[in-house]
Structure 1
Amino acid sequence: MKLQKGLLCVLLALILGTLGLTSALTAAPNETAYRGELPLGNPGLKETRTTERVTPGVTYTRIVRGEESKRDFYTVDVAFRADRAAAEEISARLRADGYKPRVEKVSDRAPDDPADSPSGYLVRVGKFASQAEADALRAELTTDGYAGTRTVYTGEDGGKTTGPWVVNVLKVDPDRYSGTLAPELATQIVPERELLTGISARTGALAAINGGYFVIGPNDGTPGDLAGISVLEGDLVSEAVDGRTSLVLPEGDGAGSDVAALSDELSVRSSDGATRLVDGKNRKPGLIRGCGGEGGDAPTEAPKHDFTCTDPSELILFTPIFGAGTEPGEGAEAVLDASGRVTALREGRGGPIPPDGSVLSGTGEGADWLRAHAQPGRKIDLSERLSGEGVRIGEGTGVVNGGPRLLSGGEPEITAFAEGFVYPENPEFYYRFGERRNPRTLAGTTSGGDLLLVAVDGRRPGYSVGASFEESAGIMDALGSDEAVNLDGGGSTGMTVGQRLVTRPSDTTGERPIGDAVVVLP
């Protein structure tokens, strides 16, 4: 009987290998079952899957699909123009300078974009087998006065290719997993960032994945501040980019995790009866990364990804999770004790935050409101309301910002236009961000209650080309998700398993420090 079982295992392995679907026999079948091959490239591409059990109820699967295409090459993007005439004008100039340009139409737009014309036209020069050759041409073009050029690999264009792709999947089954799944703030305070490997080691995580969008440089706000909603153990840390889709993690083992569009309303009422909108929480006043706020933000109160809106008159609430002190600058600040009583009114910003209280920091009209209604001894009541269809934020709930939504009810629903990933005045932004293939971090839930955390390696020609938004939706559907959201990607994409980094950083400098992560704890 043992010999027969052994022969059956060998036969099964041979069959799987022939089909290009191999899997390590280290996890129970019901822990790793997915809907089918990944919809990347043509059907039937070689696909291998290796699965290991991280802990009961949590598996890590590495999927490798396809191979480098002989049709893909390196080229130089000289310009992107919304209309063909403008692209042809640049092309004519290039020809006059001795180059051999080509103009390529970019037809696709975001699925929810109301416009139906081609999104634009690329002007390109050169076809090279190596990046070094393309970089040399790019340097020559720069010398000849062509600014803003970039070297690109056509396998990342978003069109037909054979890959390859490397997709890393963490699957959490709350019925079997007995640990804790939660967001973790980098450095444990809002300012500054931390490597995913550092977060994983510090928390003793069994596995971890990078989280939401965040501020990188001081010109866009507080570095490390989450550029969207952040909720830790039921407490709002960062305000929402209103209406943008996020990952909701109830307290505990991941049971009841959800993908939902969230909004918030923050306001204060003084004991003298005056009320005012609170513009944000734990960030630099006046700079709103990702926009999507209210109260006079310019140029828009709608979401606008990777863009910093401004507002000279704001009221920002700082809590101890921001660190020792508030952001410095002109304005006024009211220091509140744990009951909301004003203990001090300070001229200028940048003072200490009481460990058991908070600080209201105002600029412009916001500072004037504090001077008029937040004198010492007054009581300030804070109102915070989070809303999202079918979502309940409990005491232990965590929220990680993201966007756009990818799946809803088991069907593709890519809300890129609605969530600010399309600039009508600059269609190149969506082409670069959503249509081209990039490293992606994805999260989704299944009808059976499992949580999927996925990292797609990218910007690594010959290893993994990444995924477009449309391909990301297809990946999550094939893995069994009914609801799915895109999290921060690009150079931020990362996953650790057992303290080892299983993804390959796409930044030339290596692993990128991030703002938060989702950690799988014992």
Structure 2
Amino acid sequence: MASKQHGRARSIATATAAFTVLASLGLYGSAPALAAGSTRPGAAAVRTGVADTALGQEHWSTTTAAPGVQVSTVTLSNAASPFWTVTLEQPVTSKVTGSAADAEVESGSWVTATASRLASYGYELRVEPVAWPAYSDTPHGLMGYRLRVGEFPTQAAAATAAAAIAADGFTTTTEWTGYDASTPATLENIHVAVIDPKVFTGTVEGTHDGALAQRQTPSAVADQLGSLVATNGGFFVIGSGDGIPGTQSGLGVYNGKLESLASGARAALVIQDNGRKFQVADLTSSVVAQVGGSRYAVHGVNRVPGTVRDCGTAGATPTTHPEQDVDCYETDDLVEFTGELGAALPTGAGTQVVLDHSGRVLSVGARGGSVPTGDTVLQGIGTASTWLGRQALVGRTVKVDASVRNAATGASIPLTAGTSIVSAAPLLVQNGRTDIDAAAEGVVDPQDLSFNYQWADARQPRTIAGVDKHGDLILVTVDGRLTAGSEGFTLAEEATFMRSLGAVQALNLDGGGSTAMAVGGNLVTNPSDATGERPVGDTIQVLP
């Protein structure tokens, strides 16, 4: 049996350990205070200097990319001493996915029992209480406990210890404690772009820049378009088992055309009048096909009938609620395909109808082929297939109406030329206050702590968009996963940082390996994927 004294332990827990709840939410220091002579984005003066903030000490360096467009490099640091450690996990069945999963935050009873077993093997261990972040729709206070063994200088050393512990019948993982929300981040490498539409004479748009099924890196698109600044955009499909790779798994509107539907009520950045006006809000979308007096709801645009990435669709199973990175399924499904798809149409059982530009039915037949130039295709399975077969006869007209609405107010978002919508989740800031609706948008589940804990509550690379009270657009990226030493933000830290910039609205965009910012066509972030900058779905482009 391998030696049990793996690393230095800060404390030794036994089955009778007393648990102390720590209230920290991962925010540190005093209220934001600027060094003399420095300012923040949104102010009229040059954005430079040093700032002591709730997240740590920030060092700012700012340049002007064009009148009305300022780009800043920010280094945020704290005096912290993180290390690699071994975390014990409980094998569970996820309530969200129904699949086997491992939970690192668990109940006191499980931790007590597991700590007793570990102690019997001679392991030195520690118990760490974990608090709920400042979400608006989850419990507050104690989330649960985390059980860990050792402090190690390298991941390899931690992995060796984890293997030995696993050999004794435990489930383990190695973790960097600098990703924990309960401790200050050692280093964050951040980029901030602020676009003032009152001064900037160029345009801002969300774009797929070509076929929707085509994935490109943000810097490549920026280079092709001659962009001043570019970031990645919303969530998109990566694997063919989840849909059509490259297409968005949430709401997507480009130059006024709806190209993908919302996954329930989820956060989105709305760019109007080619970048003269911006807003962030939870949005919903709907599409209805009508032949005469007969109507049928279209549940998807440019996706595989029957498969709904990120869920959030009426009639889907196992849930109609949004669930991040989860597939839901429909047996009765009507899907619209546009000429921008740029990929072969899905095949399989069901009915396919081709419509010309006026909605007149040109053909009815089996699913497959491609979208003819200038035309639209409807595919139906189940009862949707039956409806098409009965109603969408050759020569008839099928009227397809689409709408996008603010989920809170019901206000319609006009789908006009110059309007782009890029969607992800969750909302971070609303009306100037932290308002992270993490459960409602399906990025966490209070009843299933195995679901997305690391995605939401640990530090990760992030891309963020927000709007300040002056109407300026704020685009932010933070490197993570120790690329160039940077650890990333939690969702709660994103909200804190955006509010410190003056954002009154903000949302989390796609992050992780997708996070990227290009300035002048050149990548300025450090991608966390081993292969480098990730090809993504849509992007946000600031064009001269």
Structure 1 length-normalised TM: 0.88
2:496 maps to 1:474? yes
- 1:69 maps to which residue? 80
Contact 1:246 1:399 in 2 (8 A): yes
Q: Which residues in structure 2 correspond to 1:19-98 (within 5 Å)?
A: 30=44, 32-33=46-47, 37=51, 39-42=53-56, 45=57, 47-67=58-78, 69-70=80-81, 72-79=82-89, 80-98=104-122
> Which stretch of structure 1 is more off in the superposition, 129-138 or 221-230?
129-138
**Distance 1:192-1:35 versus aligned 2 partners, 3 A rule:** same
1:161-240 to structure 2, matched below 5 A, reads 161-185=184-208, 188-240=210-262
Tell whether the 8 Å contact from 2:86 to 2:175 is kept in structure 1 after alignment.
yes
Cα shift at 1:316: 0.3
| Partner SS state of residue 346, structure 2 | coil
For the residues of structure 2 that align with 1:462 and 1:330, how far apart are their CA atoms?
50
Distance 2:36 2:534 in 1: 32
Do residues 350 (structure 1) and 368 (structure 2) align? yes
Match of 1:417 among 439, 445, 459: 439
Check if 1:106 corresponds to 2:120: no
Task: Map residues 210-359 of structure 1 onto 2, 5 A cutoff.
Answer: 210-252=232-274, 254-271=275-292, 273-294=293-314, 296-347=315-366, 349-359=367-377
SS at match of 1:326: coil
Alignment check: 8 A CA contact 2:130 2:144 kept:
yes
Q: Distance in 2 between matches of 1:28 and 1:387?
A: 28
Tell me the distance in 2 between the aligned counterparts of 1:192 and 1:504. 23
Preserved contact between residue 233 and residue 509 of structure 2 (Cα < 8 Å): yes
- 1:193-252 CA-to-partner distances (Å, cap 9, x unmatched) read 221222212222121011011111122211112111000011100001221110000132
Match of 2:160 among 136, 148, 153: 136
Q: Given that residues 492 and 512 in structure 1 are in contact (C-alpha distance below 8 angstroms), is that contact kept between their aligned partners in structure 2?
A: yes
Unaligned runs of 5+ in 2: 1-33, 90-103
Per-residue CA deviations over 1:16-58 (Å, capped at 9, x if unaligned) read: xxx878989xx9982644999363445xx3x311111111111
Change (3 A) 1:226 1:450: same
Q: How far off is 1:76 after superposition?
A: 2.1
Answer with 425-434 or 125-134: which moved more. 425-434
SS at match of 2:350: strand
The structure in which a higher percent of residues are helix is: 1
Q: Which amino acid aligns with 1:178?
A: T
- Distance in 1 (CA, whole Å) between partners of 2:501 and 2:460 is 19
TM-score (norm 2): 0.85
Q: Deviations over 1:55-101 (max 9, x none)?
A: 1111110011214622x111122212532222333334444455333
Mapped partners of 2:198, 2:140: distance in 1: 46
What is the aligned partner in structure 2 of residue 8 from structure 1? none
Query: CA 1:426–1:357 in 2, change beyond 3 Å: closer, same or farther?
Result: same
Q: Can you list the C-alpha shifts for 1:451-496, whole angstroms capped at 9, x where unaligned?
A: 1000011111772211111211111111121111111111111100
Alignment check: 8 A CA contact 1:342 1:378 kept: yes
Aligned pair partner of 2:142 in 118, 121, 140: 118
Sequence identity of aligned pairs in percent? Answer: 36
1:378 to 390, 396, 407: 396
Contact 2:42-2:502 within 8 A present in 1 as well: no
1:518 alignment counterpart? 540
Alpha-carbon separation, structure 1, partners of 2:241 and 2:249: 13
User: For residue 280 of structure 1, what is the amino acid of its counterpart?
Assistant: G
| Structure 2 Cα separation of the partners of residues 41 and 478 of structure 1 | 10
Q: Whole-Å Cα distance in 1 between the matches of residues 423 and 183 of structure 2? A: 31
SS in 1 for 2:495: helix
Compute the displacement of 1:375 (Å).
Answer: 2.2
| Residues 1:460 and 2:494 are matched in the alignment | no
For residues 378 and 135 of structure 1, do their structure 2 counterparts lie closer, same or farther at Cα, with a shift above 3 Å needed? Answer: same
Local SS of the residue matching 2:53: coil
Deviations 1:336-370 (A, max 9, x none): 111111111112x2222111111111112221221
For 1:317 and 1:185, the matched residues in 2 are separated by 18
Q: What secondary structure is seen at the aligned counterpart in 2 of 1:407?
A: strand
Counterpart in 1 of 2:96? none
2 CA distance for matches of 1:339 and 1:384?
15
Shift in CA distance, 38/234, structure 1 to aligned 2, threshold 3 Å: farther
Q: 1:28 to 1:160 in 2, by over 3 A?
A: closer
The aligned length equals: 492
Offset of residue 123 of structure 1: 2.5
Distance 1:461 1:396 in 2: 36
Residues 125-145 of structure 1 show CA distances to partners (whole Å, capped at 9, x for unaligned) of: 221122221233234445555
Between the aligned partners of 2:182 and 2:146, the Cα distance in structure 1 is 14
State the alpha-carbon separation in 1 of the partners of residues 185 and 321 from structure 2: 38
Report the secondary structure of 1:426's partner residue.
Answer: coil
Cα shift at 1:410: 1.3
Matched residue SS, 1:227: coil
Instruction: Give the letter aligned to residue 158 of structure 2.
Output: A
User: How many Å separate the matches in 1 of 2:388 and 2:518?
Assistant: 46
Match of 2:95 in 1: none
Is the 2:268–2:280 Cα contact (8 Å) retained in structure 1? yes
